A and B are shown apart, each in its own frame.
Chain A
Amino acid sequence: MRTTDKPAATDERPVLARFPRPARLAGYALLLGFALLYALPFLVQLSTSFKSDPEAASHPLSLLPAAPTAAVFEQLTGSGGGGEGVPFMRWLGNSTLVTVVVTLGRVAFDSAAGYALARLRFRGRALLVAFVVAVMAVPPVVLLIPKFLVLNTLGIFDTYTGMIVPLLFDAAGIFIMKQFFESVPREVEEAARIDGAGVGRTFWYVVLPMSRPALITVTLLSFQGSWNEFTHFLVATQSSDYETLTTGLARFVSGGLGAGTQYPLKLGAALLSTIPVAVLFFCFQRYFIRGANAGAVKE
């Protein structure tokens, strides 16, 4: 009430924050509810992976396991005799291999192509920019059968090559890098050129070192994208040797095992497969957030 003698506009707070106390308390309660809505599933997942099968079935909501057991994780990591039908370490190995190679490749190709499209003048560049934009508009799901066709024709269906190579080329990453390079001040490059550096040297020694934020963004997005990739692996492979965390887990989970069975194992596997991305996310949030907005301006 005392604030009324001053005009509201000089208040530092944005308009929506100027709620009376009870309203604000209610607001906080609502917020807590929202936050729980987003966090609770993960908490339930975490606690369930430490439960036994019967306990998970009878007390799905209790957040503290009555008799915590790490049996699931021993089974998954193989120290407890391997899970039947869950060669988790194999999936993990495949996912890691594919993700590392794809991420490295994407960073290299995206930055090179992005730089050329942003800065170098050559015949056909405008057309290529249009091509990249058009490719981003192609709905990935439409490509399921087409991809299989190409992999089959090239003879790389059900191989690591077939899993990795098509993922190396990613129009969105090229676009992010291109946008970034366009915002780099030209003077720096001009100076390098005048000092006698060629295009390659300028790119490698001058432009790339300046591009750390964009490179980190593309690296993280590539990592997350290929770690979580599902449909491509689903159509590019057949034998269980090539199963990744996503395809393996999907087959394991969607199989007709009946409700209520082995949920601690399923949730534990899902939990372990989430951890790398989760760790990166919590360490490098702002780069992920930047990526979300970069994805929004596909124009």
Chain B
Amino acid sequence: MPTTATERPAPPPAERRPGPARVPGRSPTRTIRGREGLWGWFFVSPMVLGLGLFLALPILMAAWVSLLDWDGQSNPFTPDADFVGLDNYRSLLAEDGLARTLLATSLRNNAYYVLLTVPLQTALSLTLAIIVNQRMLRGRSMLRTTFYFPSVTSSIAVCTVFLFLFQGSGAVNQLLGWIGVKGPNWFQDSRGVLWVLLDAMGITDGVPGGFLADHRMMGLPFSEWLAGPSVAMCTLILLAVWTTSGTFMLIFLAALQNIPRELEEAAALDGASRRHVLRHVLLPALRPVMFLVTTLGLIATWQVFDQVYVLGQGDPANTTLTPAYLSYSYGFDNAEFGQGAAISFILLAIVLLMTGVQRFLLRERGGRGLSGRGLSGQGPLRQRLAAGAARGAVPAAAKSGPGGKPEHGEGKEAPRAHD
């Protein structure tokens, strides 16, 4: 939103200066502005160079390499590079073969990972935020620290701990043993949880054969598409939920603290029960943040890499393979960088699609959901969240204009609002 304001041409200088500082002529201003331009470019040039060289340029180069058969050795930007056109994409998406089966497997795995992780982490972090938001609770800040700490530590270190906890004879299985459950051999178990569950209930006998096994989509039997995440993948899901819930809790917490207390009180005066307040006051007010959190979750979960690298490298039976890891492994293990780059573009397309869908939903509901219910200062909560973050940094910026009108960028003069 601030970007829309900055895109507007700067207002004439005379208008921007309140009161006595106003100078009738334009020449002094112009010299200051002139030097500002130089300074501006001086200040941003390292960033422009760096971001361009290490973020924008690589994408273009990778787009080119995804059209090559490149082994990582020769120079891919000479005429004798082995140009194969869309072959890399074709073998991944259209032709029967190992490449397509692997990609389909990784997409299946990651889809289950997303499907379970995102709702779980959102629900858990919201629960934690509501708990930590209780004013009466003793030791709230200690709790907040406890919940947030896993998000701050290195993913590799945390994976190491999980490797230890979830070993076959490890701590988790010992805990399960106390309540009479025999835990699986987590990191080695490639069975899909759906078949495990149905098997346990006596509905199926192991992995079903027949129709489900015979028919394939993208080279993968239906039974595998339907199997659910493998037991091994479940540890990755637990890990993700555990490490990310702290961060999302903080986002929810900031939003909760921005909900006017009067709302809760008014509801209580009207005789609403706690559950009603939660359902009809807090949750609707949190909806935009909910969408924000799910968007961030969706984007992050489609990119899971570190955990895959440490916990299984795709094993067992490729059930922890994800597109991100597949892309890496094509490039760096098999020296097929063209194929790897093609996978990363397919992944990019997925992430962009997810973001796009979420954006669309966010826009639809964000407006209607809140203003329709007549919440005061409905200027999207997201915006107030932004204001909150800025306020954390500078107290002076706290009160900028009544109700936070949508279009207040930097052009707004604070003194005018106060007088």
Contacts and interface: CB of A to CB of B under 8 A. Distances in A.
A141 interface: yes
Contacts of B200: none
Contact of A139 (B41, B309, B348, B388): B348
Interface string A174-205: 10000110111100001001100011100100
Contacts of A235: 328, 332
B393 A141 contact: no
Interface stretch (A64-72, A78-86, A244-252): A244-252
B337 A17 contact: no
Interface string A118-131: 11111101101111
Given A60-B167, A112-B44, A250-B309, A145 B265 contact: no
B389 A297 contact: yes
A41 interface: yes
A146 B77 contact: no
Contact of B157 (A17, A140, A274): A274
Interface stretch (B1-9, B214-222, B225-233): B1-9
Nearest to B77: A153
A10 to B, nearest CB: 8
A278 B146 CA distance: 11
A214 B390 CA distance: 10
B186 to A, nearest CB: 10
Contacts of A168: 46, 50
Contacts of B149: 38-39, 42, 278, 281
A269 B3 CA distance: 45
Determine the interface band of chain A, counting residues with CB < 8 A from chain B.
35 or more
A230 B155 CA distance: 8
Nearest to A95: B154
A89 interface: no
Contacts of B269: 7-9
A105 to B, nearest CB: 9
A139 B3 contact: no
Contacts, number: 376
B44 A14 contact: no
Interface in A42-70: 42, 44-45, 48, 56-57, 60-61
A146 B59 contact: yes
Nearest to A8: B268
A211 B379 CA distance: 28
A234 B327 CA distance: 14
A123 B34 CA distance: 10
A92 interface: no
Interface in B11-47: 17, 21, 32-33, 35-41, 43-44, 46-47
Interface in A143-158: 143-150, 152-153
B378 to A, nearest CB: 17
Interface stretch (B90-98, B296-304, B363-371): B296-304
Given A126-B3, A153-B77, A293-B388, A260 B169 contact: yes
B181 interface: no
A217 B158 CA distance: 23
Interface stretch (B99-107, B115-123, B131-139, B201-209): B131-139
A104 interface: no
B128 A34 contact: yes
A296 interface: yes
Contacts of B6: 125-126, 129
B217 to A, nearest CB: 25
B303 A141 contact: yes
A15 B264 contact: yes
14 contacts: A31-B137, A122-B41, A140-B303, A149-B58, A169-B51, A169-B54, A180-B394, A200-B39, A250-B156, A250-B159, A263-B164, A274-B153, A289-B148, A293-B250
CB-based closest 5 A-B pairs: A146-B58, A169-B50, A122-B40, A183-B397, A116-B43
Given A128-B48, A145-B344, A169-B51, 15 more contacts: A13-B135, A16-B134, A48-B164, A120-B39, A143-B58, A144-B327, A146-B341, A182-B2, A213-B392, A250-B306, A266-B164, A278-B149, A285-B141, A293-B392, A299-B1
Interface of A: 7-9, 11-19, 31, 34-35, 37-39, 41-42, 44-45, 48, 56-57, 60-61, 109-110, 112-113, 115-123, 125-126, 128-133, 135, 137-150, 152-153, 165-166, 168-169, 171, 174, 179-180, 182-185, 190, 193-194, 198-200, 203, 213-214, 217, 224, 227-228, 230-231, 234-235, 245-246, 249-250, 253-254, 259-260, 263, 266-267, 269-271, 273-274, 277-278, 281-282, 285-286, 288-290, 292-297, 299
